Structures are given as structure tokens and as C-alpha cells.
Amino acid sequence: MAYSDDIRKMYKDTLQGIMDAGLFKQERFIHSPQAAEIDVEFPIGAPLKRVINICANNYLGLSSHPEVVKAAHEGLDSRGYGMSSVRFICGCQDIHKELEARLTEFLGTEDTVLFPSCMDANAGVFEAILTKDDVMISDRLVHASLIDGIRLASALHDTYKHNDMEHLEQKLQLHADKRQKLVICDGVFSMDGDTAKLDEMVALCEKYNAMILVDDSHSSGFIGKTGRGTHEKYGVMGKIDVITTTFGKGLGGASGGCVSGRRELVEMCRQKARPYLFSNTMAPVIVAGVLKVMDLIMHNTERRDKLERNTEFWRKGLTEAGFVLKDGDTPIVPVMLFNAKLSQDVSRDLFHEGVYAIGFFFPVVPQGAARIRTQVSAGHEMHHLEKALDAFIKVGKKYEILGKTKAEIIERYGN
């Protein structure tokens, strides 16, 4: 037996350390489809409680949309369950190519390749398109999956301060001698809900002959007038060299991701990206579902318009109630509590009031920046948001944080 008592003890102690630090992640079990209202078993063994979900990435409310579910059923019947192969051996169906073409059209790019997830897209793209003669310059707040992909690449890596264009320009100058320069950011930053200034960034990239990669996972389908993403919002469609995005959030919420952009760069991913070469791609049933999502949003902005209205209502309501929010105009609305324990307490009390929202604290967000990250959905009706707002106000009153500034909250609860 190689797994000796000593080895077991070491891992047990490590886990205990995570628990003692209050960082142990506990799942809550949902017994219903993902939607604005869900049935939750929490704590484990407790009777089911119906709550309003305000922390899903279900931005367009399509996760359990009847037409998407129906299309997935039909896809299952017509194309089967699994491919039992990676793409380039015998794992590519007509519908995979069809979805890639639809995405290229939707995102306004030259070509697209699917990945099992956006995590995989980000893990594979950098090493596929860059070499050790190149440099990657990333925003300091990019998503963990980009950081992992950057670590897997042999190109030099440097960072610039979050959304600081002057600092980015300095870095472009510092690395001017590198063969290729790739600037990397999230379109919408997942923890803060702010957006990258893509118009200024594209201008800088043009000035210094650099390429730009944007992870639009929290934007695709709803940011911009017709929901194309952050590049549409900033008027730079066609100028982003690589977009990576996920189907695990707004675009149906199941799973899968892609790299979309310049024809040659996408082709390099097909030839070299390891998650594409060595892992099965999206199952046919999911491809069929995402194709239906594309049908629903390609020429119809109803859902993203509703999401925009809901977001406005939600931000305004929380602001008027006296909460401290992170500025922005995206459906990611962080309610700042600063103290880790306070974020846990508020989350627990909200659950009692019938609202499911999770507290985030270090190391997911910086020390002293604990928060409840709320996320608005087009699946929310006004009565959901009104009820959720009432719950937030009730709990906010209990902890006497309404109308208080950051400094006052920290003074009372610590950070």
C-alpha cells in the first residue's frame, strides 16, 4: 500500500488547514434545472428550499430554455451521444463545423475552432501561436485560466496594472524588440464586472504593432448593442486578433469554448493546441444546443435588451438602498463588504430570506475586498429582482451597512 498513514495524514492536515483558514469550499446541491428560481438542499440533508438565484452566469436565461432543451434532444437523436475520438481522428461532425461558422459570423471574425471548454481554449492558445522569441503582456486581473495558459507557453510574460493604459504603453515600449507582442485581457472582468477599454487598447496595439487577445466569456451574447461582445461595445469589431469565449455562461450555460479570430492564428490552434489535439471536443448534444442558442440571438436582441433593463434596475436599487458597489454597467454587480466573515454571514442570511448569492473573499479576490458577487439574468422577472432587493435591504439593515462608506464598514468589521 503506497498510500501510507503518513501520506494520508499529510493531506488530512492540509485540508484541515484550509478549513481552519475558513477557505473550505462547500457545495450546495440543486435539485432543479438552472433558472431564476431553484430548489436547493443546504446544508446537506436539509429539506429543499426554493430560492432566487442571483449568482449564476446564466446571463441570457437560456440554461433551461425549452427550445434549447428540445434542440439538444433532437441533436442527441440525430447525431448520437459521444464521438469516442478527438477532433482530427474521427471526432468532427458536420454540426461542429456548422457551429464554428455560426460563431465566426456572430463574433465578426475570420475563423473559429471549438474547444472542450474555454479553460482549454485559454490553456492551448498561447503555446500554439507564440514562441520563446515573443512576449505576452497581460492585465493583472485576468482570469485564472488565462494565467494557466500563459504559464504553459514559452514566450516571455509581463503584466500591466489593471486597465492602466499608460502602464500598458510602457510595457509595449519595454518589449519593442520582441518578435511578436500579444496583449491579453478579459473583455468583462469576472470579479469586478468592469470592462477592458478595447478602443484604446486596439489603438495602442496598432501603434506598437502588437496583437490583442480578449477573453469574452462574460460578454458573448449580451455586451454591445447586438450582443456580439466587448469589441462591439467599444466599436472595434474586426480588430481583435483573438477572441476566446465559453458556452458555459450566457450562450446556453452547458459547456464548451472556442478560439475565434485571424484565420492563420485559428489554424495554428488546429495544428498545435494541445487540448484540441488530445481531448475530445464538445459532445454532439451540446453542439446542437449551442446552435439553437445562436438561432435565438443572431438576429434578435430581445434577451440582451431585457438583461440590460434588469441590470439597470438592480444596480439602481442597490445603490439607492445604500450599498457600496463596484462601478460598471455589466450584469456582474459586486456588492462590496470588504470583510471575509461579513460576506459569509450576509450570504447565509440572504439564503434564509430566499436569495442564493455567494460571498467571495481572499484568495478569489484581493485581501480586504470581500464581496457578494451578484449576477443579473434575462431569466429574472421584475418580481424576482424586487424580492431579492427586499432581502438585501433587510440583511443590510441587520448588519447596519446601508449608507455606510467603505471606510465605515471596514472600521466596524475589519478587512
Partner 1 sequence: MDANMKDIVLKYVIDEYLEDDSETLTYDSPLISGGIVDSFSMVSLKRFLENKYSISIPDADATPEAFDTVNKICVLVEKFAGK
Ligand X SMILES: Cc1ncc(COP(=O)(O)O)c(C=O)c1O
List active site positions.
Answer: 190, 218, 249
Stretch that binds partner 1, among 7-15, 157-165, 194-202, 276-284 (CB under 8 A): 157-165
State which residue, 112 or 339, has the beta carbon closest to ligand X.
Answer: 112
Q: How far apart are CA 399 and CA 253, in angstroms?
A: 34
Phi, then psi, of 370 in degrees rounded to 5: -60, 150
State which residue, 126 or 351, has the beta carbon closest to partner 1.
Answer: 126
171 binds, among ligand X, partner 1, none (CB under 5 to 8 A by kind): partner 1
**CB under 8 Å to 172, separation ≥6 — which residues?**
137, 181, 183, 204, 205, 207, 208, 210
117 binds, among partner 1, ligand X, none (CB under 5 to 8 A by kind): ligand X
State which residue, 86 or 147, has the beta carbon closest to partner 1.
Answer: 147
Of the candidates 229, 287, 239, the residue with the CA atom closest to the CA atom of residue 261: 239
Phi, then psi, of 246 in degrees rounded to 5: -120, 155
The site for partner 1, by CB under 8 A, has a size of 8
Q: Which residues share a beta bridge with 242?
A: 213, 261
Which H, E and C letters describe 242-284, residue by residue?
A: EEEEECCCCCCCCCCEEEEECHHHHHHHHHHCHHHHHCCCCCH
Q: How far apart are CA 391 and CA 372, in angstroms?
A: 13
DSSP 8-state assignment for residue 132: T
The count of C-alpha atoms lying within 13 angstroms of the C-alpha of 326, restricted to the half-sphere facing its C-beta, is: 26
State which residue, 102 or 341, has the beta carbon closest to ligand X.
Answer: 102
DSSP per residue, 186-215 = ESB-TTT--B--HHHHHHHHHHHT-EEEEE
Give yes or no for residue 156 binding partner 1 (CB under 8 A): yes
145 binds, among ligand X, partner 1, none (CB under 5 to 8 A by kind): ligand X
**Shortest separation between residue 174's beta carbon and partner 1, angstroms:** 6
Stretch that binds partner 1, among 25-33, 44-52, 74-82, 153-161 (CB under 8 A): 153-161
Q: Which of 74, 158, 329, 353 binds partner 1 (CB under 8 A)?
A: 158
Q: Cis omega (within 30 of 0) on the bond before 43?
A: yes
Q: How many other C-beta atoms are found inside a 10 Å radius of the C-beta of residue 85? A: 12
Q: How far apart are CA 335 and CA 297, in angstroms?
A: 30
**Alpha helix ranges (H) inside 111-196:** 118-129, 144-152, 165-174
Q: Which residue ranges make up the site for ligand X (CB under 6 A)?
A: 117-119, 122, 143, 145, 186, 190, 215, 217-218, 246, 248, 257
State which residue, 161 or 406, has the beta carbon closest to partner 1.
Answer: 161
Q: Which amino acid is at 207?
A: K
257 binds, among partner 1, ligand X, none (CB under 5 to 8 A by kind): ligand X
118 binds, among partner 1, ligand X, none (CB under 5 to 8 A by kind): ligand X
**Shortest separation between residue 335's beta carbon and partner 1, angstroms:** 22
**Shortest separation between residue 380's beta carbon and partner 1, angstroms:** 35
Of the candidates 359, 318, 328, the residue with the CA atom closest to the CA atom of residue 219: 328
Q: Is 136 helix (H, G, I), strand (E, B) or coil?
A: strand
**Shortest separation between residue 274's beta carbon and partner 1, angstroms:** 22
**Shortest separation between residue 177's beta carbon and partner 1, angstroms:** 9
State which residue, 156 or 203, has the beta carbon closest to partner 1.
Answer: 156
Stretch that binds partner 1, among 18-26, 89-97, 167-175, 349-357 (CB under 8 A): 167-175
Cβ-contact 186, 217 below 8 angstroms: yes
**Shortest separation between residue 357's beta carbon and ligand X, angstroms:** 17
Site string for partner 1, 168-197 (x = CB under 8 A): ---x--xx----------------------
157 binds, among partner 1, ligand X, none (CB under 5 to 8 A by kind): partner 1
156 binds, among ligand X, partner 1, none (CB under 5 to 8 A by kind): partner 1
Binding positions for partner 1, rule: CB under 8 A: 156-159, 161, 171, 174-175
